[in-house]
Amino acid sequence: MFSSLNPHVLRLQFPSLQQEINGQPAMFLDGPGGTQTPVGVIEAMSEYLLRDNSNQGGRFATSQRTDGLLAAARQAAADFLNAQRPQEIVFGANMTSLTFHFSRALSQTWQAGDEIVVTRLDHDANISPWLLAARDRGVAVRWLDFHAEDCTLALEELPRLLTEKTRLVAVTYASNAVGSITDVARVVRLAQAAGAQVYVDAVHYAPHGPIDVQALACDYLVCSPYKFFGPHSGILYGKYDHLASLAAYKVRPASSQPPGKWETGTPNFEGIAGIRAAIHYLATIGELYAGPDLPHLSAYSGDRRHLKTALHLIQQHEAALSLRFLRGAAGIPGLRVYGITDVERLEERTPTFAVSLTGYTPQQLAQRLAEQGIFVWDGHYYAVAVMERLGLLDQGGLVRIGFVHYNIAAEVDRLLQTLADLTP
Ligand SMILES: Cc1ncc(COP(=O)(O)O)c(C=O)c1O
C-alpha cells in the first residue's frame, strides 16, 4: 500500500537497476531515450514466446490465445490513453514508423496550396514525416517557434499561423530535449476552431503524466511503450471516424476496418504482451494507493482510475526530484540548465534537463559521467530543431539528464556531487 509513491519498493521490480559499473551502482538517467522494464514485462514477453507463440486468426489454441492477448492489450492501451474504444488503438514498430505510414495516408486528403503547422520544439519524428508529406502534396509548412529563455512553445503565435487552409498541426506534448510541457488542449481548441486536425507526439510525456485523449479532443496521438517501461514498440491513437474513413496503404486481404487496416503485416505479439504488462505495472501502482481520495480523478473508474492515480503519484515524486536537482544545480558554477528553471513552475516541465558545464563538450561530460556509472545522453537526441534554434547544433548539442519514477533522491545527490567535482 502506498500513500505516496515509494520508488525504493518499485525499484526492486527492475532487475537492470541492480547493475554496477566500475564498482558503483549504475544510475539510469537515460529514461528519455528509453526506460528499464519491470520483471512483469520481461515475464509476459517470455511467457508469450514459451506458450502462446502463433499468428492471429487461427482455429487452434495458441492462435486463439494470441487473439485474446491482442484484444486485451488494445483494451489496456485504450485505458492508458482514456480512448473511447479499443479500435482506436493501432500497434506498430515505433512512433516514427507509425507516423511515416500514417502521414502518407492522411496527406492524400490534402490539396496543393493547403498548409500545415509544425513546431521547433518537436522531435524530428513529428517534423520530417510532415515536411516530406507536404513536399509530396505541394503543401506549405508554417513553423511555430519556442521562447529561447525558457524553451516553452510560443502558443500566442499560433492563431497567426492558422488560416482556413491549415489542415494539420503536429505538436509535441512535451519536449524530449528540455522537458517543457505543451498546453495541448489549447492547441487543439485553436486548431480545430480553424478547421485543422491535431497530431500529438506524446512519446516523451507518457511516462511522466496522465493522458486523456477525450479530454484533449486531439485527432491523433502517438506514444512509444519503451519510454514507459515496456518493450520497443509504438502506439497510435486516432479518433474512430478518422481511422475508419481515411484510406490506408495496406495489402488487399488485410481488414478494411480499424485498427487492422492500419497494422501492416504480422504484429509483434511478444512486444504487445509486454505493452499490456507495462500498462498493468502502472495500473498496479495506482491500485495500491491508500492515500486520500484524489477528487479530480473521480470521473474515471477501474483500471482507468488506477492508471491516472499512478501517473499522478509519479508526477508528485518526479516534481520532488526536479526541485532537488534544480536547487542543487543552481549552486554549481558553470552548470547551465536550459528550459524552465523556476521551481514554482515545475508542473510545466518533465524532469528532463538539458545542461552544459563550462570546460567540457557535451560529449566529454557524458563520457566522464559514464565512467562513474551515470548514464546520460549527449547531442541532439533527434530534437534537431531545438538545438538549431538554441544555436547549439554545431557544438555537440547538450547533455540530457532524464529522471523517471524509479530514480531516487540519493541519485540526484550523487549526480550533483559528481558534477560539482567535475567543475574546473
Ligand atoms: C518526443 C519523441 N518523439 C518521437 C520519438 C521517436 O519515437 P520512436 O523511437 O518510437 O520512433 C522519440 C524518441 O526518442 C521522442 O523522444
In angstroms, the CA 364 to CA 349 distance is 26
Lookup result for grid cell 547531442:
379
Q: How far apart are CA 34 and CA 231, in angstroms?
A: 9
Using an 8 Å Cβ cutoff, are 180 and 349 in contact?
Answer: yes
CB of 201 shorter than 6 A to ligand 1: yes
Distance CA 139, CA 391 (A): 28
For ligand 1, whether the C-beta of 99 sits within 6 Å is no
Alpha-carbon distance of 218 to 212, in angstroms, equals: 9
pTM (2 d.p.)? 0.98
Mutate to test the pocket of ligand 1, among 121, 153, 200, 227 (most ligand atoms within 8 A of CB): 227
- Say how far residue 144 (Cα) sits from the centre of its chain: 20
CA 157 to chain CA centroid, nearest Å: 25
Which residue's CA is minimally distant from atom 7 of ligand 1?
Answer: 95
What pLDDT does 292 receive?
87
| Closest residue CA from atom 14 of ligand 1 | 33
Say if ligand 1 is within 6 A of residue 176 CB: yes
Strands 197-201 and 220-223: parallel
Would you call 222 exposed, middle or buried from its count of C-beta atoms within 10 A (0-12, 13-18, 19+)? buried
The second-level CATH assignment, the architecture, of 7-36+305-422 is Alpha-Beta Complex (3.90)
CA 54 – CA 267 distance, rounded (Å):
11
Cell of 321: 526530484
Q: 402 CA to middle of ligand 1, Å? A: 14
Q: 233: CA distance to ligand 1 center in Å?
A: 10
Cβ–ligand 1 contact at 125 (below 6 Å): yes
Q: What residues does CATH 3.40.640.10 cover in the chain?
A: 43-280
Name the CATH topology of 43-280: Aspartate Aminotransferase; domain 2 (3.40.640)
Considering the chain, tell me which residue range(s) the CATH 3.90.1150.10 domain(s) occupy: 7-36+305-422
328: CA distance to ligand 1 center in Å? 29
Per-residue pLDDT of the chain (424 residues; tens, 9 = 90+): 778 899 999 999 999 999 999 999 999 999 999 999 999 999 999 999 999 999 999 999 999 999 999 999 999 999 999 999 999 999 999 999 999 999 999 999 999 999 999 999 999 999 999 999 999 999 999 999 999 999 999 999 999 999 999 999 999 999 999 999 999 999 999 999 999 999 999 999 999 999 999 999 999 999 999 999 999 999 999 999 999 999 999 999 999 999 999 999 999 999 999 999 999 999 999 999 988 888 789 999 999 999 999 999 999 999 999 999 999 999 999 999 999 999 999 999 999 999 999 999 999 999 999 999 999 999 999 999 999 999 999 999 999 999 999 999 999 999 999 999 999 7
What is the rounded CA–CA span in Å between residue 354 and residue 32?
11
Mutate to test the pocket of ligand 1, among 382, 400, 404 (most ligand atoms within 8 A of CB): 382
Distance, in Å, from the CA atom of 373 to the CA atom of 27, rounded to the nearest integer, reads 6
